[in-house]
Amino acid sequence: MAMCRFMVHGLSAVSESSLWLNEKLISASVDLEDPDRLNPQLFGTLVQMVVRGEGEDDTGILPKPPGTNKWWKVRPEMVPTPQMKEQSESSPACLSSYRGILRIASTGGDQKEVGMSLFTNVLNQIIYAEMHNWKPWIHFEISSQSVLYDRWAHGFSNVSLFNVNTDYSILMDQELGIPGQPTKQESNGFDSSVMSTLELRGNGVWNAYFEPIDDFDPQDKSCPSSREIVQLPAHLVMAITSKAPWAIRAWRYDDVPEKLWQPSVGSSLKDWYGPIRSKAHSLVRKYFRFRPHILRRANEVNPVQPGEVCLSIHARNGERKGNFRKRVGSKSFFPYIEEFIKAGGSIIFIATDSSRVLQYMYKNFPTNITDMIRTQGDQVVRTSKEWPLHMIDNHHRVNSEALVDVLAMSKCHFLLHSFSSLAEASIYLNLDLHENSVNLEDPDRVAPPEFGKAVRGVIGSIVEQKAAVEQVQIKMDGQIVRKKLDEATILQRDVGRESRRNALVYLAQKKHSSYSGRDSYSILLRSLDMAQRNYLSLNNHVDSLDIFIFHTSDFTEEDLEILERRMGPSVSGVIRLVDLSGSSFWQRPPHHANDDPNSWYAYPLFSEGYRRMMHWFAIDIWEFFSRWNEQEQNSYRYIFRLDEDSFIHSPIQYDVFDFMEKNKYVYGYRMCTYEMQVTRRMWTLYHKRNPDFAPYREVDLEMCAFYNNFFVADL
């Protein structure tokens, strides 16, 4: 490997040795386990430059990885130095009726991951504290071997010492196998408190991600000296989680007795989860407050807007251990995702620590689904099998990214998951997800069609709520009118709005005639949603155009009302549904009227419907608008074509039609493409018929064409 000029590798002593042998490889290698690595395009540029001899003397000119947004690099406050505060009044903690302070010092063990440590085990210790009237206070005491510990972020070298009372201890209730209530120790007949030194290191981990859960401060001089502090060691924490009847659990851990896990006869797993999630939700609302940088990042990676319906998918596989849970393959999510799309869902957020999960989904999902996917991005700690070794000193980043996933998932309306404490945490934050989630390890889970029905119900309620909030209803007093052109029927709502000069046009159908199983209607709705969000709603663009949806007996008055309600009051009177069936605009040309389609080239690959679509956009649409302008005294000048699977992904602030007119453009297209062999000789034929045509430069135009599933044209 050292004899090569470039290298692509993972973390390995062998690959590192090659770098040591060939120093030039250091600037010309890509570590696939480095979240901040060069992307393929930049690597290609680097190769080109090196091949040309650039960068030999100065590697600084070669492409560098893009600077990662190190949003997690927010150094939280360390625990203050141990000088006592000079306060004359007692703090709220001291005035309370609590018997003492339960310090939550243990996460349950060094190998407990984020969800188990920061949610499940913390919540169970809070419940224990409230049951026995002790005030919970979090300051973890974890070792450098903990999967949570990060030297930089948690600052354990900063030590504070306090003298506290330790008259009470917590012992195991041998009969129940869980901690009993804190009991006062015998003091050899003397009525005096037992004093000991409380050592606090750094910020206690918790404060790196959450605000303190209460107002207790061990430095507060005004607190009575009798204030007791007790804490549960790791084995007692896990005893609660495994054996306490009242404990919160994310799934059946290996040491949970059958009687505590098995749902009662006649009830489902979701029924069993109900009271657990409800209890956890109330505690999270009371005690958990995320740090601003965590909240900000979650809003950045999954900014769900009003009216958007979001599905979150939890596929974090780094924690998949235990006898009672398993890895759920990416393929298992497909049927539910398809139903979500069909129902009109708009966003899919994937929370995963597995690069394989994302690779599989992007490879196997169709484009209309992958275009909807959101994640935390490429520059996230992900791996193929287990956590990379080089992340051992960067646990703060891993912790932060996991918590962002929890928050981002909780912003969605629906959740697909398996047994996981992180997935449960997102439900604790958003209790609506209890009803709107599907656990793929639950044998009684709802089937995909039922899930799709639930999605449609939520979408319907969102539309109604949106109208109520805006206090604006679609102007329904305007009557839906029918007009005729030839035998084509045009449906629109008459609200006194004059026709515009521009038209956004679709040729659409509800079920695709050529592609079996394709739900063209839901794809069309997604295209309209994105056009609304990224063009129509910006700078009053909707006021400069009308929307024409051409079809052949697919759409009705009811569909017009559905589209108006979905897109909002701004499109009232804007949409026209044009049924072309039976009209001269949707017929075979006379010279093909009596053909046997089986004699046509590449039939049925190029179906009759496909050929009519091509004829429509090549010839008939121009005739339609010419005659429609003449009949209705309209002045349509430009058309903007989108197909049902054409998506406007980013905001277009300028007016596309004004841009065409000001620049005297007659046709705007997205790119040139090379067509199939069927188009061979088209340019040759054109040139023979138009000998005066002179290209700007010599170029082979065989099979070259405009990609016209999107175009803007001057009529």
One domain for residues 395 and 327: yes
Q: What average pLDDT does the structure give for the chain?
A: 83
Residue 75 lies inside a defined structural domain of this protein? no
For residue 1, is it within any domain? no
Burial class (CB in 10 A: 0-12, 13-18, 19+), 343: buried
- For residue 126, pLDDT over 90 is answered with yes
Supply 629's token pair.
């302008």
How many whole angstroms separate alpha carbon 202 and alpha carbon 12? 33
Helix (H) or strand (E) holding 660: helix 656-662
What is the reported pLDDT for 161? 72
- CA dist., res. 562 & res. 574, Å (int): 13
Q: Which residues, at least 6 apart from 155, have a Cβ–Cβ distance to it below 8 Å?
A: 78, 201, 202, 203
Point out the domain boundary residue: 431, 465, 499.
465
pLDDT of residue 94: 59
Determine, yes or no, domain membership for 532. Answer: yes
Q: For the chain, what percent of residues have pLDDT higher than 90?
A: 40
432 shares a domain with 312: yes
Strands (E), 375-521: 414-417, 437-439, 480-485, 488-493, 502-507
How far is 55 from 401, CA to CA, in rounded Å?
A: 36
Same domain, residue pair 429 and 515: no
Phi-psi region of 576 (alpha: psi -120 to 50; beta: other; left: phi over 0): beta
pLDDT one-digit tens code per residue, 517-539:
567 888 898 899 889 988 999 99
- Give pLDDT tens digits for 290-329: 999 999 999 999 988 877 899 999 986 655 566 777 778 8
How much is the pTM? Answer: 0.64
Among 607, 637, 653, give the residue marking a domain's end. Answer: 653
Coil, strand or helix at 406:
helix
pLDDT band with cut points at 50, 70 and 90 for residue 463: low
Distance CA 27, CA 23 (A): 8
Q: Are residues 318 and 433 in the same domain?
A: yes
Separation of alpha carbons 614 and 620, rounded Å: 9
Alpha-carbon gap, residue 456 to 462, rounded angstroms: 10
- How many structural domains compose the chain? 4
Given a cut of 70, whether residue 674 has pLDDT beyond it is yes
Residue that finishes a domain, picked among 465, 496, 531: 465
Distance between CA atoms of residues 399 and 148, nearest Å: 7
Contact (Cβ atoms closer than 8 angstroms) between residue 660 and residue 527: no
Q: Please check whether residues 450 and 492 belong to one and the same domain.
A: no
- Rounded CA separation 617/566 (Å): 27
Strands 134-138 and 100-104: parallel
Are 331 and 358 part of one and the same domain? yes
In 3D, which of 52, 50, 63, 56 has the Cα closest to residue 6? 50
The reply to whether 77 falls in a domain is no
Q: Over range 206-226, report the average pLDDT.
A: 75
In terms of residue numbers, what domain contains 165?
93-184+193-275
What does the angle CA 586 – CA 592 – CA 595 come to, to the nearest 5 degrees? Answer: 115
658 occurs within a structural domain: no
| 418 and 493 both lie in a single domain | no
Please report the sign of the dihedral spanned by the C-alpha atoms of residue 655, residue 656, residue 658, residue 659: positive
CA 647 vs CA 11, 29, 285, 339: distances in Å: 39, 36, 39, 20
Mean pLDDT of 440-456: 93
Q: Measured on CA atoms in the order 419, 276, 229, 399, is the torsion positive or negative? A: positive
In-domain check, residue 80: no
559 is written with which tokens?
Answer: 């569909």
Query: Is 208 contained in some domain?
Result: yes
For residues 53 and 101, membership in a common domain is answered with: no
Query: CA-to-CA distance for 384 and 330, rounded, in angstroms?
Result: 14
Name the pairing type of β-strands 183-184 and 168-169: antiparallel
Classify residue 665: in a domain, yes or no: no
Question: Do 174 and 41 have their domain in common?
Answer: no
Counting Cβ atoms within 10 Å, is residue 540 exposed (0-12), middle (13-18) or buried (19+)?
exposed
pLDDT of residue 328: 83
pLDDT digits (tens, 9 = 90+) for 226-241: 468 888 989 999 999 8
Whether 268 and 139 map to the same domain: the answer is: yes
> Maximum CA pair distance of the chain?
117
Instruction: For residue 226, count other CB atoms closer than 10 A to its CB.
Output: 9
Mean pLDDT on 363-379: 81
- What separation, in Å, do the N-terminal and C-terminal C-alpha atoms of the chain show? 61
Which phi and psi (to 5°) does residue 70 adopt? -80, 65
Residue 224's pLDDT band (boundaries 50, 70, 90)? low
Q: Indicate if 418 and 491 belong to the same structural domain.
A: no
Number of H helices, E strands in the chain: 23, 26
- Asked if residue 62 has pLDDT above 50, the reply is yes
Please say whether the dihedral angle defined by the alpha carbons of residues 177, 183, 187 and 188, taken in this order, is positive or negative.
negative
Residue at 82: amino acid letter: P
CA distance linking residue 309 with residue 301, whole number of Å:
15
- Residue 334 tokens, joined: 């497909």
Q: pLDDT digits over 255-301, tens only?
A: 777 777 766 666 788 988 999 999 999 999 999 999 999 999 999 99
* Strand-pair partners of 170: none
Angle (CA) 383-386-389 rounded to 5° is 85
- Beta-carbon-side half-sphere exposure of residue 665 (alpha carbons within 13 Å): 15
Are residues 522 and 629 both part of a single domain? yes
Q: Which two tokens stand for residue 184?
A: 């006062």
